[in-house]
Structure formats: structure tokens, C-alpha cells
């Protein structure tokens, strides 16, 4: 549920070769191109409060594969983040964005960092919300990591059945990362399916499977070393980066902001303060005219829902 004064986003669908992704869009068509990537088991509603506050930005918030209203992967494999990186650029290509900014939360922040290190020339700004890198692993842990991933995928677990949406709202509010009721309702509205006997989460249960391969410290440093875009990092005092030194490898090209709040502070009352910093960051970093930002868009696979869908 959103406030009656909150701008209603438009909806987009992207037909990629292997799956369909959905997105919500805020801001003027000629605004600074911003792709927003949500966290693990969230969806594009993660940005319902922050995106409308970003002035002069065209924010396209994706439902990442297996989340929200986007399609699940069909190969019964774990949700490694490497395909997400390719899909981010595939979506940008369909939008006609040669260069664009990334705004990522948690897992979406990790994907954003990898994107900026993979094709650094395409990223104009990198804004990270309580996430930056995955926990590195030593090379000798790789065999057990792969074994754990295979075991997880074979279990084929299902989500529990809830009799009411109210139960699901309470579950999100009281989870590891607590949420206000309004934020929980926003995520629930786009993250549940009605089924026989009640409701289930719409996210693919395979998202809970361990990754087949995890990055070492050397891998992460290699990606960080290729990032060219100015970086703005927001660390929640009660979030995933509290007490972490993960930002140490980024260097001097990073603005760091400590935000009093939890992991989803961008969805809560702190959204206004975060937006103010982001507006300054986007305005003062790279000045990019529309000709530089755009390429000939392939809009043949971008679908806008008919009125009422």
C-alpha cells in the first residue's frame, strides 16, 4: 500500500532471450537514466518511496529475475549473480541507454558493483544502499560451496502457505531486517501470489539455494579496481554494513554516508535525507547530455501494459 500522494509508477516489460523481466518507472523520459536494483527477496517496490524524490531522474526499477512479477529462471539452477549482470545491460540496451547510473540496494548493490567493474565505460554514477560486495571466500572453500549449492537445488523447497496477506505483512515486518507496515505492504503487493488455500511468496524458492561459486578477495579487488564512476555509499547504522570494512577497497572515489536506521532505511523516514544526498550526487558528478546517454533503442522487446493492466 502506498500513500495517496505517492506518484503512481508506469510499468514496463522486457523480453530477453531467456526470460521476461518487469519494471516500474518514475520520472521524466528525458531525465538522467537510472537503473534501480533491489535486494534479495525484495522487488522493485523497494524504491516506491525513494524514486519519486530523485529530481531530474528517469528511474527504472527492475524486478530482478525470480523476484516480483518477473519470470523465474527455468534451468533449476541456483541464482548466481552473474546472469543478473548481463541482464542489467540487456535491459539498458533495450531502453537505448548507452551510459546510465546504477542505484542498488543490498544484493542489488553487489550486482551494481560487478556491473561497474565489468563495463566501467557504461556507468555514469554508482549509488549503493547498504551493500557493496559479497562476503569473500577462500579458494579452498570452493568444493564445499559447490556441494552446498547442489544439495540446496535438489531439495526443491516450497514457500509456506499463508492463510491471509496480513500474516505475510507481519512476517516481513518482524523479519531479520525489520520493516514499517507501509514498507512491508508495498513489497507484499508485488511479491505474493494467490493460490489454493491462501497465499505464497511469488519469488522463486531457488533464490534460497547457495551460490555455486563465490568470489575471493582477489576477485573483488579486481572488480573494484576497474570501477570508473563516482561512487556514493550509504551505510545503515543497523544494517548489513554495520562494522564492516568492505568499503576499504574502493579508495578515494567514494562518498560515504552513515544513515541512522535499518537495512531498508531507503524505504523508511530516512528516504528524504538519502534522496537529498543522491540529488546532489547525481547533479554534481558527471554532466551527461541526452545524446551521450542514448543509443538507438531496440524498443521492439519493451512492452508497456495496456491501461488497467
Contacts 24+ apart (CB under 8 A), 143-152: 145/210, 145/211, 145/212, 145/213, 145/214, 146/212, 146/213, 148/210, 149/78, 149/209, 149/210, 149/211, 149/212, 150/212, 152/78, 152/208, 152/209, 152/210
- Cell numbers found for residue 262: 535499518
Q: Which three three-digit cell numbers place residue 234?
A: 550509504
**Radius of gyration (Cα) for the chain, nearest Å?**
19
Strand order in the sheet with 254-262: 254-262, 231-238, 123-129, 100-105, 32-37, 57-63, 20-26, 10-15, 302-303
Q: Is 2 exposed, middle or buried (0-12, 13-18, 19+ CB in 10 A)?
A: middle
Give me the catalytic one of 106, 149, 202, 211. Answer: 106
Handedness of CA 301, 81, 230, 121 (dihedral sign): negative
Spatial distance between the Cα atoms of 112 and 135, rounded to a whole number of angstroms: 15
**Catalytic-residue membership of 244:** no
β pairing state of 302-303 and 10-15: antiparallel
List active site positions: 106
Amino acid at each position: 500500500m502506498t500513500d495517496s500522494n505517492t506518484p503512481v509508477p508506469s510499468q514496463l516489460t522486457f523480453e530477453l532471450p531467456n526470460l521476461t523481466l518487469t519494471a516500474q518507472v518514475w520520472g521524466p523520459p528525458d531525465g538522467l537514466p537510472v537503473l534501480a536494483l533491489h535486494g534479495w527477496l525484495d522487488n522493485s517496490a523497494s524504491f516506491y518511496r525513494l524514486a519519486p524524490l530523485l529530481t531530474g531522474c528517469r528511474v527504472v526499477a527492475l524486478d530482478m529475475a525470480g523476484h516480483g512479477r518477473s519470470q523465474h529462471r527455468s534451468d533449476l539452477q541456483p541464482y548466481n549473480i552473474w546472469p543478473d549482470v548481463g541482464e542489467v545491460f540487456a535491459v539498458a540496451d533495450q531502453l537505448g541507454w548507452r551510459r546510465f547510473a546504477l542505484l542498488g540496494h543490498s544484493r542489488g548493490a553487489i550486482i551494481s558493483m560487478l556491473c561497474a567493474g565489468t563495463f566501467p565505460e557504461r556507468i555514469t554514477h554508482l549509488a549503493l544502499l547498504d551493500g557493496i560486495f559479497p562476503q569473500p571466500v577462500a579458494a579452498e572453500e570452493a568444493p564445499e560451496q559447490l556441494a552446498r549449492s547442489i544439495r540446496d537445488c535438489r531439495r526443491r523447497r516450497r514457500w509456506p502457505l499463508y492463510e491471509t496477506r496480513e500474516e505475510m505483512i507481519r512476517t516481513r515486518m518482524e523479519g531479520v531486517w525489520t520493516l514499517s507496515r507501509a514498507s512491508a505492504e508495498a513489497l507484499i503487493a508485488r511479491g505474493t501470489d494467490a493460490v489454493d488455500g491462501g497465499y505464497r511468496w511469488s519469488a522463486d524458492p531457488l533464490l534460497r539455494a547457495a551460490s555455486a561459486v563465490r568470489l575471493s578477495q582477489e576477485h573483488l579487488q579486481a572488480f573494484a579496481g576497474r570501477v570508473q564512476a563516482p561512487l556514493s555509499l550509504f551505510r545503515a547504522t543497523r544494517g548489513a554494513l554495520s562494522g564492516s570494512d568492505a568499503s576499504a577497497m574502493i579508495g578515494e572515489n567514494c562518498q560515504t554516508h552513515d544513515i541512522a536506521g535499518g537495512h531498508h532505511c531507503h524505504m523508511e523516514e530516512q528516504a528524504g535525507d538519502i534522496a537529498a544526498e543522491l540529488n546532489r550526487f547525481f547533479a554534481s558528478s558527471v554532466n551527461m547530455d541526452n545524446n551521450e546517454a542514448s543509443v538507438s533503442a531496440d524498443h521492439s522487446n519493451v512492452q508497456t501494459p495496456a491501461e488497467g493492466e
